[in-house]
Structure formats: C-alpha cells, structure tokens
Structure 1
C-alpha cells in the first residue's frame, strides 16, 4: 500500500496536487482550496479558467511547470467537498500520479476527518493492483508515498489509521476474490484467513467429516462433486463488555460450474468471484477486531466448490440442512442459498445472535433490477434497512431495498420437501424468501444483501479497479461501528 502521512510543513516541490471545489454562481472555473506559492497560484487560476475546470468530483487537470517548483500541479475536483467527493479526488490522483514516485497533496487548514478519510481511501483503493504473474515494468505503479500537507493532530492521525485498516482489509477481500480458483480452494481460503487473523480473533474450521457428522447437509451436498472438500470457517471477535452480538454469513463458493445443471462457458468466466460474500464478512470482522470496535461479531463462511463429477449432487435430490429443514434440489446452479441456509440455521441454533446478516453473490436477477453498482437489500426491520442504507451511502457502496413480497412466499415450498431451492422469477426476491426460512426466530432481525453485480468491476471506476471490488467490507464496518 502507498505510504500516506500528514505534514503541515511539507516542501512544495516536484508534483503536487491541489483540491478544486465546485464553481459557484456563473463562474466556469472551480476554486482552489489550498494555499499555493504566489506565482503558481496565478497560473493555476488562469489555467482553471482556460480549461473550464469546474471542480467536478474526480476530474483532474495537469498543469506542467518545467524548470520551476512545484514542477507539476494536479488540479483535482472534490465536487461539493463531502467525503464522496474527496474519495473521488483521491482515486483520480492515484491514477494521475501513478508514474510519480511521490506526491504532495495540498489541503485546506480546516480539512475535516471525513475529507481526510475520503482522500486516503480513494488513494489506497484506486492504487490496488492484482496480478498472478509479474507486472510489466511500464505498467507498474511507481507511486510509493503521498504527503498530505496539513497539520497533524491526534484526531487526524486516528482517522488516517482507521481508514488504512479498512482499506487494507478491503484490499484483502479483493485479493481473495481475484485469486483464480485453481489456487483458491476452500482449504486455501481458510489458510489465508488464518494467517491474517490477529489478536483476539478465534478461528474455528469444520472439515467435511465434521460437517457430515453435525448435519450440514447443504454444504456437504454442494461440495460433494469436488476433490477440494468443503469447509465451514467461523471467526469470532468477542470484546469485553460488548452488549450486542452480530453474526455475518457470507457465501463462499470458490468456483461455480453450476454443477450438473452446468453453466454455459461465458457464465463461468468470472465464477471465481462467487465467494465475494465470504471475503467481505471475513474482511469486515478482521477490520473490526483491528479497530477494537466494542461489538461482538461472528463471521461464518460456508466454503465449497460446485463441480461436476460422479459424486455431484443432482437435480431432484432432497438435501437435509443443519437443524432439519429440507430442500428439493430443482437446480444445482442455485447452490449459494443452500450453503447459506446451513450456516444461518447453525447461527440461530447455537450462537444466540442479536442480529443476523448475510451477504451473497446470489442472483443475476439483481443486476437486471438494480444495475451493476447497487446491491439488493432485504429485511423486514425498518431500523436495519435505514442503518444499512446510510452505511452503504457513506461508504460509497449503495444499496436499494427490494420487497420480501409475500405473494411469492408459497413459491419456495416443495411438494416433497420443505423448500424448493430454485423457485423461479422474480429470482432475487424468491431467493431472499428462501433464505428467510433459515432465519427462524431472527427473521425480524435479519438482513439479506445480494451483492452479485457490485462485487466485480469491468473497468476502473473511482476507487474501484478492474476486477474484484471487495464490496461490503466498508459498509459492514461503518454499520457495525453504530451497533451498541
């Protein structure tokens, strides 16, 4: 990660960045929001007017100043100056200065903690890189250090440290999700998390034999076709004095062929991302533990490969879940809800949570309803809906509530079992209604988030890079910081 530090006496040499606020009134040019040397200030004002730089969030213009200092000024728009605007500016600067070895970002003396968080988060997340092979030298990120030219204070140092923690675990979630499935078996996932878990985090792993013995029929069935056996990973953070217990459940399908109901080739190309929910919940718990948040959190990641072989589960099978509910298998390509059901039922029966939250790259139908950037949110609890909507908006990870429409509740029933795992359209809603059956006594304190589309970005976009986004880590940490 780029080194970011605060220094109110930073030397204004080399490449510097100046934030630009949105133009006011009829003015075509935005307004520089930091103090520049007098000669540079005059040039910047003229340059902004000539280029009609309006200060739009994330817009960057470059003013070269050869043979003078600073030698280059990057003019980065922050829009209205809220956290999202500073995040967009930080992301744009990470790209604009990628070939520089260092960058000094001028900042107004009254820079808020929220603005600092946004700026740093944009820089750290937009500078993320993932490659299996060595990166070509001409494409490599050279930017190693960013100095934010503003006076340090304990509050600002704390805000920067907290942002670094969340960004680091978001990047970890991206690493997990981007890793090709040839490497990313359920056991590999477990080992990566074991190595990352810090003080105060308890790691418990159930392997296939224990899953079979304890009745996790859904996880065992979905993972039955692969030589890479399934796992149930359980992480626990239990700080002294915590009064609330939140259980996070994340879908962890490390590769999804669709099973015997096999997907077409095009639909399998990105199925390494089908464990994005598991990556998000473990990343969030590890961040919460590092931050020392005073809320008890358990993360459950049911991990399996949904493969095709002679031992694969079949359409027409009946699976018995943890706790006794049964599912008729109408499609082996509706596997995520089956493993989530086991983990949710286990949480309700054994962990006594106050709140139950699940995240899953669950349905393509959610993209049809909400597009590529917005996750679908389901709950019958208005306070939880409001809390998650606010947390997602602040984190830059938007969510939109969809209804738990009771007129479709009967569709998830089966003639020969309790539930039908593929009840059909509207697919995002019927999947949520299926999962609700496993929330048991917690159905009024349960949230389901279908984040299939925003878990992956097809191109660089703001703080997102091409590939896995780590969606959910930032939203979960923001929301968990409000739970008490």
Structure 2
C-alpha cells in the first residue's frame, strides 16, 4: 500500500557528482564554508552553489528550508536543492530539512551531500515520513508520475554510524506508514474483517494476535460495543495484539483504540457534506496498530498490549435507536441519546476488557471521538484527559519531544451531572457544552480506580486537509511517534 521514500546511507563519492541523475541536495549554512564534496559540486556548477549560499534569499530561509537551482550547468541532475541547516541542528530542524527533501524527491532520486551533520538519522527520518504517498487505488501506481517517492541517498563520512542510529527510527516510520495506510483506506476496502486480517498478519513480526468474534463478545457481555455495529452487515470484532519484550512478570501498558471503519452516525444520521471523511473514524485503532508494529520491528524491551474495537456504524432495520438502553461489559446500563456518539460505546467495553484481562500498569485510549475537540484545539493539537498526573505528564513530554502537539484539558465530577439518565445508569451524551470533556467523563466511568489512564481525542489531528512538513495531505499517523517514545522512556529498562 505505502510508497515511502527508500532511505539509505553511503560514503561520499565526489567523482560521481557530475553524472548523478535526479536531484542533488546540499546542506549548508549562511556564511559558513562548504565541505569538500559541496565545494566539488560548486566547481562543477561554476560557482552556483556558493552564490546561492551567499545570497540574501538563502539567508532569509528558515532552518530546514531549501532554495532550488533548476537545471544547473556542469551536472546531469535536474536540480540542486540548497538546504539551510547548521552543523548542529535541533531534532526539529533536522526533521524539517528531511521533510523538505522528502517532498523534493517525489518522482526522482535524490542524493544529499554536505551531510556530515549531527542528527543525520533524524534528517533521514523526516525524509522518510514526508516521502510517503498513498497510491494503492491509482491506475498510474508505480509510474514515474511526479507523485511517487523515490530513493534518497545520504552521503556521509560516518554513514555506518548514521545508518545504525536510523534503524529504530525506520521501525517507527514503518509504524507511521501502517497507520496512515489504514486511515487513508476507503471503507469498502477496509471492512472490519479486512482490518482484522491486516492485524493478524502482524504476527509474522512476533506479535501475538487474537481476534474475538461477535459470539465471543456476546459471551463477554460487550453489549455497548455490539450495539454500535448491529445495523451493519460487517461483523463487529475486537482484536488483541500482545508484545512481550519486557520482564515476564511486568504488567503491560494497554493501548485501546476506537475502530469505527465507517461512521454514518447511525439512525442519528450525519449530514451528507463531509461524510466521506468518516473513513478515518478508525484512526484511534490505526494508531494502536502502528505503535504495535513499530514496537515489534524495533524489538522493544517492554510489555505492551494493543486492543482495538472494530465496528461499522450504519442505519438499518436492526440498528440501535436513540432512546435504546444497552448494557456494558462492566454492567452499567447506558441510555443511547445519540447514535452518532458511538465511539465511547465501543471504547467502554474495550477498556473494561483490557483491565479485566491484563491488569495493566497504565492504560491509554485513542479515538477520533468528538467534533468538539476540533472546535477547542483546531487541527494543531490532540486533547488529553487523565486521572493520573504522572502518566499524563510523561505522555505530554513524549509528544513534545516528537513534535506532536497535545494539550491537557480538565475533568471533574461536576461534568458527570450532564451525563445523568432518567432511565439508565448513564446516558451517552451530555449536550453541546463541554462536549469533549463529557465524552472523557463517560469513558472515565469505565476506568478502575487503581488504573492510571489517559484518553487522547485525536479528532483534529488524525487527518489533515493540507500538506504538513512531515506528512502529505491525508492521514498523519499522529501519535505513533509519541507513544513509541513514551514506551521507550517509561516502560523500557
């Protein structure tokens, strides 16, 4: 499915500069002397590189941005990208530069010189992330059509060190790509069964994968989850993925994801405009899947279990109606006021099952849960809600380190008043006011008192309608990097 840029490292070969095809990128800094390989390229291009670096326009570029020299004389390359990057960039600057190159490499090979830089592996990581393209359903797939990524080669005297440092980042990139593929996939392709099959395939990486079908879910009492999918021909499922890389007796971190493969809103039908984007309503499950793949690929020394509830929310003669009362696995009864507030019904049972079965050291759920989250934070940050300052603080720190925006919002007993039902233990919506908070409060009813828990509402960040520095338009894979870092920082070693 994925067409990520192929990234490799190699020793500098100045003699090959004149005949390189595609594009050449030079890492340089305003006012600084070019390195030996870059000086060779400068001579071949009759001083064009040096003039570019000395120009006022280059000095005005932000770090990580590039100036393009099209069809330079003296070389076969179609362009030279002169990138503003100091010898000791920050992680964000290195990734941004990589993203610039990943975007420039679309449809052509690209060779990066002057790459004796600190954090070269982070530059390569940025290039890989931005070099992604989802073209599984294009008739021109595989053709050199300017949209497909190509190989990026980074020349460095310390190429072996850079390649070794890049290996775990490459594993994380594969996890991000897996998430993006799942979120970008149309719902007629990514049914609940197809989704489950793709997760079962991860067992080849060493994950233990189990699929719970509807009969098993009924026996477990997951009436809340099953109520969401009962109007669809696609069977509801729960998939459990276990990675046991830590101490045998260590309690795992549990990651729970909302996997609504398509959300019409059910009987509380959504407006037609924009409904096509509801293929991404399984974004939380997609992130969980991507994290589990990354952890397996890099052989993480931690115990992590990922659980996803896969359903399709459709209107039909068998669909749940507004006003129905359903019973959760926990035993709480829920009055369904709005069938379009379905994600919390899925997660309630998945989270309770995760705690009952695995007794986790902590639990994090992810969901494209509320439109109110987009109203509150736009498309820049995910919303965090938690009952545990330590776990939430560690997640905030990890998200900041990975450049994935997140912001913690409040919770409190007063919001529970909005969820009181006249005929059941709780209702599934609390009105327009504080919509994201009342959704978190609902989920909090299904968290045991001794379980550290964070809820992440990714409604605004799972998919973007514009290109970003490290991802093209469409699915972003937000959360894979932050959760992988959280595992590395808090649950490994």
TM-score in same-fold range (> 0.5): yes
Which residue number corresponds to residue 127 of structure 1? 131
Which residue number corresponds to residue 293 of structure 1? 300
Does 1:228 pair with 2:231?
no
Distance 1:64 1:154, change over 3 A: closer
Q: Which moved more, 1:34-43 or 1:237-246?
A: 34-43
Distance 1:406 1:151, change over 3 A: farther
Distance 1:70 1:140, change over 3 A: closer
CA distance in 2, matches of 1:174, 1:362: 18
Q: Deviations over 1:327-368 (max 9, x none)?
A: 111110000001000011111122110100000000111111
Contact kept, 8 Å, 2:463 with 2:474, in 1: the verdict is yes
Shift of 1:476: 0.9
CA distance in 1, matches of 2:238, 2:34: 51
Which residue number corresponds to residue 26 of structure 1? none
Which residue number corresponds to residue 5 of structure 1? 8
1:59 equivalent among 65, 68, 82: 65
Contact kept, 8 Å, 2:209 with 2:240, in 1: the verdict is yes
Distance 1:217 1:143, change over 3 A: closer
Contact kept, 8 Å, 1:12 with 1:104, in 2: the verdict is no
Contact kept, 8 Å, 2:207 with 2:242, in 1: the verdict is yes
Contact kept, 8 Å, 2:132 with 2:149, in 1: the verdict is no
Shift of 1:456: 0.4
User: How many residues end up aligned between the 2 structures?
Assistant: 472
CA distance in 1, matches of 2:159, 2:112: 17
CA distance in 1, matches of 2:61, 2:251: 43
Does 1:436 pair with 2:480?
no
Shift of 1:103: 1.6
Q: Deviations over 1:354-392 (max 9, x none)?
A: 100000000111111111121001113222222111211
Does 1:40 pair with 2:42?
yes
Q: Deviations over 1:423-455 (max 9, x none)?
A: 122111111111111111245x10010001110
Q: Deviations over 1:95-149 (max 9, x none)?
A: 223232x22212443x33xx23321222112121113132374634455322211
Distance 1:386 1:40, change over 3 A: same
RMSD of Structure 2 on Structure 1 (CA):
2.1
Say which SS state the counterpart of residue 97 (structure 2) adopts.
helix
Say which SS state the counterpart of residue 310 (structure 2) adopts.
strand
CA distance in 2, matches of 1:76, 1:295: 38
1:474 equivalent among 471, 475, 481: 481
CA distance in 1, matches of 2:35, 2:115: 5
Which residue number corresponds to residue 291 of structure 2? 284
Does 1:313 pair with 2:320?
yes
Which residue number corresponds to residue 279 of structure 2? 272
Which residue number corresponds to residue 86 of structure 1? 94
CA distance in 2, matches of 1:171, 1:32: 37
Does 1:394 pair with 2:394?
no
Q: Which moved more, 1:145-154 or 1:471-480?
A: 145-154
After TM superposition, the structure 1 = structure 2 runs for residues 188-267 of structure 1, keeping only pairs within 5 Å, are 188-241=194-247, 243-267=250-274
Shift of 1:51: 4.8
Does 1:411 pair with 2:418?
yes
Distance 1:370 1:31, change over 3 A: farther
Shift of 1:240: 4.9
Which residue number corresponds to residue 188 of structure 2? 182
Normalising by the residue count of structure 2, what TM-score does the alignment of the two structures yield? 0.90
Give unpaired runs (5+ residues) of structure 1: 22-28
Distance 1:473 1:329, change over 3 A: same
CA distance in 1, matches of 2:51, 2:161: 36
Q: Deviations over 1:129-187 (max 9, x none)?
A: 11313237463445532221113466432321111111112111111111111111111
Say which SS state the counterpart of residue 379 (structure 2) adopts.
coil
CA distance in 1, matches of 2:473, 2:238: 29
CA distance in 2, matches of 1:432, 1:260: 23
Say which SS state the counterpart of residue 281 (structure 2) adopts.
helix
Shift of 1:34: 4.6
Does 1:358 pair with 2:365?
yes
